[in-house]
Amino acid sequence: MIELVLDASVVLKWFAPAEEPRAAEARGFRDRYRAGELMVTAPSLLPLELINVAGRRWGWSREALLQLAASLDELEFDMVEAELGAVAAWTGQGLTAYDAAYVAVAEERGIPLITDDGRILAAAPSVARPLSGRAATSPD
């Protein structure tokens, strides 16, 4: 089993319409997770980010958001708190504190971060891997 940090830009695509760019790649990670081939680690802010995007950007109804919350509760991700000093250091590199939390967790655990966020990829090439392409499918 491999362990990866998946950020909100990837996990969001598990719930997005199929025509969302790179949804198929993100759902490939979902399928590997469901098959028990992948352990997902993420900062504890992940569910809040997902609900925020679904509600504010996608305009989901209260009922749909409640269903999303229930689905997120069922995921057995390893939710951890990012170390604040590491978050501050990555924020000093130009990332939002939210994005920095994913990078900090990946760096602390020594595992790759899979993201569809170009800013994270540019700021943290030592730990961040793109969702699309061969680099995302390799655990090392």
pTM here is: 0.90
**CB-count exposure of residue 119 (10 Å: 0-12, 13-18, 19+):** middle
Domain span at residue 109 reads: 2-137
User: For residue range 54-66, what is the model confidence (pLDDT) as tens digits?
Assistant: 999 889 999 999 9
User: For residue range 88-118, what is the model confidence (pLDDT) as tens digits?
Assistant: 999 999 999 999 999 999 999 999 999 999 9
- Mean pLDDT, to the nearest integer, of 16-32? 91
pLDDT tier at 132, thresholds 50, 70, 90: confident
pLDDT attached to residue 139: 43
* CA separation for the pair 98, 85 (Å, rounded): 13
Both tokens assigned to 75 = 């995921």
Number of domains present in the structure of the chain:
1
The CATH number linked to 110 is 3.40.50.1010
Q: Exposure string (b/e) for 12-34, b if CB count within 10 Å is 16 or more? A: bbbbbeeeeebbebbbebbebbe
Q: With beta carbons less than 8 A apart as the criterion, state whether 81 and 43 touch.
A: yes
pLDDT attached to residue 18: 79
pLDDT attached to residue 17: 81
Both tokens assigned to 70 = 């229930």
In sequence order, what DSSP letters do the residues of 55-122 get, joined into one string? IIIS---HHHHHHHHHHHHH---EEEPPPHHHHHHHHTTT--HHHHHHHHHHHHHT--EEE--HHHHH
